Amino acid sequence: MTTLANAIKAHLDYADGRVTSEQIKQAINTKYPGQWKAATIQAHLYACVANNPKAYIHHPWARKFLYRNADGTFELYSEERHGPNEWAPPEGEDEIEPVSELAETSISLERDIEDHLIQHLNTLEKGLKFVARQFKTDVGRIDILAEDKEGYRVIIEVKVGEVKDSAVGQIARYLGWFTKLDRKSPRGMLVAAEFPEGVRYAATAVSGLTLHAYRVSFSFETATI
């Protein structure tokens, strides 16, 4: 199965020159209709840029094969043409850049994780049944609403990267709302890449809440000339 990164790279190989983000999106959607959302493509155009220092901080898993020019166009990164890759930030740098591209990247990655979980709920717990996505309550929208094999509601919240204390309060709010509605306690699952020690302590105070860490995995295919 072709990955989005490989699809973007193949298009730039074919284009043999500078292309805009809109041209890339149009080409991907033409060749792979409906397979990837525009936001997901844009996320890759942020995460896979070799000369984007923040991409190394926020998306270290992404293969850096793109070069973004001053005019906003993209081409394949070449050390011979663009110089040695010296854009990776110093070790330990953790500044977060409040730009729209980063926000869009986080949103699209969260949606991708939700998509995967909805199709593979058994990876969280055997017997889970999907009920709804972005379920609206009086106290906010729930990422994924499920039901366990005993018939109890399961509230699943997804966060990209390291989770914050506020996420525990958020899911506790949903648990309390359903407890009042159903007159029985639901369960909660918080899914994120990392759980700081403080968050783990906070989670122990919320009855029925469990923490689940996701890991990004890669698939590889043989490249041919």
**What CATH number does residue 176 fall under?**
3.40.1350.10
One domain for residues 158 and 207: yes
Q: Is residue 114 part of a domain?
A: no
Based on the domain organization, do 78 and 127 belong to the same domain? Answer: no
- Digit-coded pLDDT (tens) for 51-67: 988 888 777 778 899 99
Residue 104 lies in a domain: no
One pLDDT digit (tens) per residue for the chain, 225 residues: 678 889 999 999 988 789 999 999 999 999 999 888 888 898 899 989 999 888 887 777 788 999 999 888 999 999 999 998 888 765 554 444 443 444 444 445 667 788 888 888 998 999 999 999 999 999 999 999 999 999 999 999 998 777 888 999 999 999 999 999 998 889 999 998 888 888 999 999 999 999 998 765 545 556 555
Classify residue 205: in a domain, yes or no: yes
Let me know whether 128 and 209 are in one domain. yes
- 71 and 139 within one domain: no
Domain finish residue from 95, 111, 135? 95
Tell me how many domains the chain contains. 2
> Which pLDDT value is given to residue 105?
45
Over residues 156-203, the pLDDT tens digits come to 999 877 788 899 999 999 999 999 999 888 999 999 888 888 899 999
Query: DSSP readout, 17-29?
Result: S-B-HHHHHHHHH
- In this structure, the answer to whether residues 44 and 79 fall within a common structural domain is yes
- CATH number of the CATH domain containing 70: 1.10.10
In 3-state terms, the chain is what percent helix, strand and coil (to 5)? 40, 20, 40
Asked if residue 127 and residue 89 are part of one domain, the reply reads no
Mean pLDDT of the chain: 84
Is position 105 within any domain? no
pLDDT of the residue at 213: 86
Q: Establish if 81 belongs to a structural domain.
A: yes
Q: What is the pTM of this model?
A: 0.53
pLDDT at 220: 52
pLDDT given for residue 112 in this prediction: 76
- pLDDT for the residue 214: 78
Report if residue 156 sits inside a domain.
yes
pLDDT of residue 102: 42
124 and 192 share one domain: yes
The reply to whether 29 falls in a domain is yes
d(CA 169, CA 179): 15
Domain end point (choices 51, 78, 95): 95
**Long-range contacts: 187-190, Cβ < 8 Å, 24+?**
187/148, 187/152, 187/153, 187/154, 187/155, 188/154, 188/155, 188/156, 188/157, 189/124, 189/125, 189/154, 189/155, 189/156, 189/157, 190/157, 190/159, 190/163
Q: What percent of the chain has pLDDT over 90?
A: 48
Same domain for 131 and 80: no
Structural domain of 36: 4-95
91 and 124 share one domain: no
User: Residue 85 domain-assigned?
Assistant: yes
Q: Are residues 127 and 208 in the same domain?
A: yes
